[in-house]
Amino acid sequence: MRLIIKDLCHRYDDLVVLDGIDLTVQEGEVLAVIGPSGCGKSTLLGIAGGIVAPTSGTIAVAGEVPDGCLNPITFIFQDFALLPWRSVEDNLSLVLEHHPLSAAERRERIESGLRRMGLWDFRKALPKQLSGGMRQRVGIARALAVRPAMLLLDEPLSALDAQTRELLMEDFLSLWQRERTTAVYVTHNLDEALRLADRVVVLSRRPGRLREIVTIEEPRDQRLEPSAQAHLAEVRDRLWHLIRAEAQLADREIADA
Amino acid sequence: MPDTSLPMTERSAAPPQPVRFRGGGFTVKGHRWAALLAFVVLIAVWESTNRFGLVSELFLPPPSAVASALAAMAQDGSLWQHLKASLMRIGVGWVMGTVAGMAVGFAMGIGSVARAVGVPLVSAFFPIPKIALLPLFILWFGIGEPSKFATIGFGVFFPTVIATYSAIDSVPRNLIRMAQSFGLPWASILRKIVLPGALPGILAGFRITASIALILVVAAEMIGAEYGIGAFVLTAGNLMLTDQLLAGVLVLSLLGLSIGTVLSILERRLLKWR
């Protein structure tokens, strides 16, 4: 599925957050969005997913949805957004209960999602009994249970420690290796963007405007190879150069506010 | 395994000094018997002040006399008659106030128009001492039970409204956004997310309203009732039967404790996830 954003502007009262965003996310592509704090990355994702109404501009999708897809555009949240009073399997069940599925199919989707994320043995656990990494895996399993055509990931690893981040990045890599699900991945972490994305969109500080789109040529599965390091370091420097000064200014703005 | 990564001179330069523990205090520890002991000491002191003639039995009867009065009430059946009347008034008044309060609180929690209308009204009515309205309710509903139900219900209603809409406000908005992003229908979001998410706050409100109901039932019974713990306490006071008066107060205290225990059990059952 493709996502087409045209001339998108968004403001909160007098505060312009996004201005004139034109962007197309290609089918099967992983597009990372980076930019200074407060530049509207998460707002852009919210608008793309239909949970924030844009002030102006259009958002459209095109292309086929996979068989059995119940929620074409599906979020994975930074804070996991799990219901603390529901067990792991019931958190997955929540997003299936309003669809006309047989009990067997619902069970199959829950089991398949949990097994893929290595959570089957924890299906009866409550979220509070899980580590941060496992909670995010539940969030991913919940997203997979609806067989999405497009994933919108809002800083999904930022609440996790470095080791867990690494493990979950491997999970995302194997997911995109298998299924080629289109994804928009908002992050403030350049290394995550370089490791996971096909293209990286750089937004300016508020109001967020599209500054540059950087394509990463190396195939995702070869980015840890020594031969890829020099080029990735170059791309990283370029990205950092693009956002460094603005990140500093944005930081001061937040401190002043 | 010994740490041999430092050079020998670094390891043996000075004799090691133990690090002094500085992290004590500022932690609450459980003392299971302390509360029981405090009760025993209080009752013993109270009993002995009477036994040694320090306080007149008329003004403060000893615990043994209060216990005897309570036993006598239980034996002649008057305790149950009064208790039944009070429990019925608390039950009906509390349920009326709670059902109405939750309905209005929910409307204010999820509807911006209901909130805009409701908040000033609740703020205006909430501080009124509800017992002051009992004469008006007697005028409207008569001296019988309905005026007492109305007083208790009205007293319970406003705190329930506030507890309910505050509890709905405290439901994390990210959970609602998550549900919307997965396309859950509005009614499902209310039932599966808003209601369970607000439950801790609503149950905390029940604790407050149960106490209010207890206070109001006693006050209402003191103004116009033949039976009920409040009426009994007032009659005992008028007749200077202070042992019976304190027996009635003890019953009220036990009633409050029992209601608190029931709510604790309810919280443990319904909020296991916390």
Over chain B (274 residues), the average pLDDT of each successive run of 10 is 68 81 85 90 92 88 94 94 96 97 96 94 91 91 92 96 96 96 96 96 96 95 92 94 95 94 94 89
| DSSP labels, A112-133 | HHHHHTT-GGGTT--GGGS-HH
**CA distances (Å), B156 to each of A78, B112, B130, in order?**
40, 23, 9
Domain ranges within chain A, ordered by starting residue: 2-256
Chain B residue with minimum CA distance to A77:
B178
Average pLDDT over chain A reads: 92
Contact A29, A36 (CB under 8 A): no
Contact A38, A206 (CB under 8 A): yes
A244/B261: higher pLDDT: B261
Q: How far apart are CA B142 and CA B147, in angstroms?
A: 6
Determine the topology of domain A2-256 in CATH: Rossmann fold (3.40.50)
Write the secondary structure of B206-252 as one string of H (helix), E (strand) and C (coil): HHHHHHHHHHHHHHHHHHHCCCCHHHHHHHHHHCCCHHHHHHHHHHH
Looking at residue A129, its pLDDT comes to 96
- Give the orientation angle of helix B134-141 with respect to helix B195-224, to 10 degrees: 80
pLDDT digit string (tens) for A105-140? Answer: 999 999 999 999 999 999 999 999 999 999 999 999
Q: Are strands A2-12 and A56-62 parallel, antiparallel or unpaired?
A: antiparallel
**CA distances (Å), A113 to each of A67, A93, A116, in order?**
16, 11, 5
Our CA-based measurement puts residue A75 at a distance from the nearest CA of chain B, in whole angstroms, of 7
CB contact under 8 A, A79 and B174: yes
Q: What is the mean pLDDT of residues A150-168?
A: 92
User: With 80 as the cut, is the pLDDT of residue A217 above it?
Assistant: yes
Lowest mean pLDDT among A53-67, A217-231, B12-26, B186-200: B12-26
Q: Cβ neighbours of residue B100 under 8 Å, at least 6 residues apart?
A: B153, B157, B160
Chain A contact for B269 (CB, 8 A cutoff): no
Looking at residue A153, its pLDDT comes to 96
Our CA-based measurement puts residue B121 at a distance from the nearest CA of chain A, in whole angstroms, of 29
Looking at residue B46, its pLDDT comes to 92
Chain A residue numbers touching B271 (CB-CB < 8 A): 85
Q: What is the mean pLDDT of residues A230-257?
A: 82
Tokens of A29: 């592509």
Contact A92, A114 (CB under 8 A): yes
Beta strands in chain A, from DSSP E residues, in sequence order: 2-12, 15-25, 30-34, 56-62, 73-76, 150-154, 182-186, 199-203, 210-215
User: With 80 as the cut, is the pLDDT of residue A199 above it?
Assistant: yes
Looking at residue A64, its pLDDT comes to 86
Domain architecture of chain B: domains with CATH? 63-270 (1.10.3720.10)
Return the closest-CA partner of residue A117 out of A175, A204, A62.
A175
3-class DSSP state for residue B120?
Answer: helix
User: With 70 as the cut, is the pLDDT of residue A256 above it?
Assistant: no
| Among candidates A81, A126, A128 on the partner chain, residue whose Cβ is nearest the Cβ of B175 | A81
Chain A residue numbers touching B184 (CB-CB < 8 A): 94-95, 98
Return the closest-CA partner of residue A135 out of A79, A219, A179.
A79
Instruction: Give the mutation candidate from A51, A75, A78, A85 for the B interface (greatest B CB count, under 10 A).
Output: A85
Sign of the dihedral defined by the CA atoms of residues A192, A194, A198, A199, in that order: positive
pLDDT digit string (tens) for B152-171? Answer: 999 999 999 999 999 999 99
Chain A contact for B192 (CB, 8 A cutoff): yes
Looking at residue B57, its pLDDT comes to 86
Q: How far apart are CA B233 and CA B219, in angstroms?
A: 11
pLDDT digit string (tens) for B176-227? Answer: 999 999 999 999 999 999 999 999 999 999 999 999 999 999 999 998 889 9
**In the structure, what pLDDT confidence band is assigned to residue A255 with cuts at 50, 70 and 90?**
low
Looking at residue A257, its pLDDT comes to 61
Looking at residue B32, its pLDDT comes to 81
Contact B98, B160 (CB under 8 A): yes
Q: What is the mean pLDDT of residues A72-97?
A: 96
Q: Are strands A30-34 and A182-186 parallel, antiparallel or unpaired?
A: parallel
For chain B, state the CA radius of gyration.
Answer: 28
Chain A residue numbers touching B180 (CB-CB < 8 A): 51
